[in-house]
């Protein structure tokens, strides 16, 4: 599988809009990732931004969602396919209904409710609110990954911290939000009128045109 070379954030967004789904890192489908499509010299260069720095602007663009969406690893889903993707990944459940049916844990509910109550939150602030610190709750990464995989939360941005001199440092801190906050509830839940399996088949049918040479099992694994 070979897609065009990606040299800017706009290149990535345009490809995501075209093919619907794009993992950030290499996976079981050769060539089907940002990692494999961006030139090596753009990764972690000191003088220019590259794909690692582009994640924030892309997430802010409103043209796709970004998060741990593919087998617990990061990637993008286009705005067009978000409603069907959410319908399938949520199995038709709003979070409260999932929790009431015993399909979500108290930890999941605590993290999800904190974001709903306070709006978009940096991961460090979310951890404090939900007592994920020394002597407190454990397993934050597992909880936040699961909520992203189920599309109840997504990464809205990355915020880079500054030191006392104003210099930026670190990798960027993820800011989490509900997709409904970013795109509107009516849009995100727009495919709820369909059965989750219908949404799955719609996505698979589309991916057969995008990834014609890939085994069906690999396409199914991508959708989840």
**Residues 126-184 pLDDT 10s:** 999 999 988 899 999 999 999 999 999 999 999 987 777 767 666 789 999 999 999 99
Q: Is residue 140 part of a domain?
A: yes
Q: Is residue 70 part of a domain?
A: yes
Q: Is residue 182 part of a domain?
A: yes
Mean pLDDT in residue range 52-75: 96
Contacts of 63 (CB under 8 A, 6+ apart): 13, 16, 17, 78, 79
- Counting residues of the chain whose pLDDT is more than 90, the rounded percentage is 87
Q: Is residue 74 part of a domain?
A: yes
**Which range of residues forms the domain containing residue 40?**
9-223
Q: What is the pTM of this model?
A: 0.94
Contact 1, 30 (CB under 8 A): yes
Q: Which of 4-13, 36-45, 142-151, 173-182 has the lowest mean pLDDT?
A: 36-45
Q: Is residue 1 part of a domain?
A: no
pLDDT at 1: 63
Number of domains in the chain: 1
Q: Is residue 193 part of a domain?
A: yes
The packing angle between helices 196-210 and 82-89, to 10°, is 130
Q: Is residue 2 part of a domain?
A: no
Judge whether residue 45 has pLDDT over 70.
yes
> DSSP letter at 68?
E
Burial class (CB in 10 A: 0-12, 13-18, 19+), 22: buried
pLDDT at 174: 96
Mean pLDDT in residue range 203-208: 98
Nearest to 60 by CA among 120, 103, 130, 124: 120
Q: How many CB atoms lie within 10 A of CB 171?
A: 10
Q: Is residue 180 part of a domain?
A: yes
């Amino acid at each position: 599988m070979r897609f065009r070379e990606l040299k800017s954030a706009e290149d990535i967004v345009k490809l995501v809009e075209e093919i619907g789904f794009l993992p950030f890192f290499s996976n079981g489908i050769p060539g089907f990732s940002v990692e494999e499509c961006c030139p090596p010299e753009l990764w972690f260069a000191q003088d220019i931004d590259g794909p690692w720095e582009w994640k924030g602007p892309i997430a802010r663009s409103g043209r796709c969602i970004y998060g741990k969406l593919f087998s617990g690893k990061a990637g993008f889903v286009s705005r067009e396919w978000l409603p069907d993707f959410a319908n399938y990944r949520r199995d038709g459940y709003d979070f409260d209904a999932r929790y009431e049916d015993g399909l979500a844990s108290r930890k999941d509910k605590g993290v999800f409710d904190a974001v709903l109550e306070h709006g978009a939150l940096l991961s460090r602030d979310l951890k404090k609110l939900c007592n994920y610190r020394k002597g407190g709750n454990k397993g934050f990464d597992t909880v936040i990954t699961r909520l992203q995989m189920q599309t109840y939360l997504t990464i809205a941005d990355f915020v880079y911290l500054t030191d006392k001199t104003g210099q930026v440092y670190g990798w960027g801190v993820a800011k989490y939000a509900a997709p409904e906050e970013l795109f509107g509830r009516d849009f995100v839940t727009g495919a709820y009128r369909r059965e989750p399996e219908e949404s799955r088949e719609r996505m698979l049918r589309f991916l057969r045109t995008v990834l014609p040479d890939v085994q069906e099992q690999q396409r199914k694994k991508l959708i989840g």
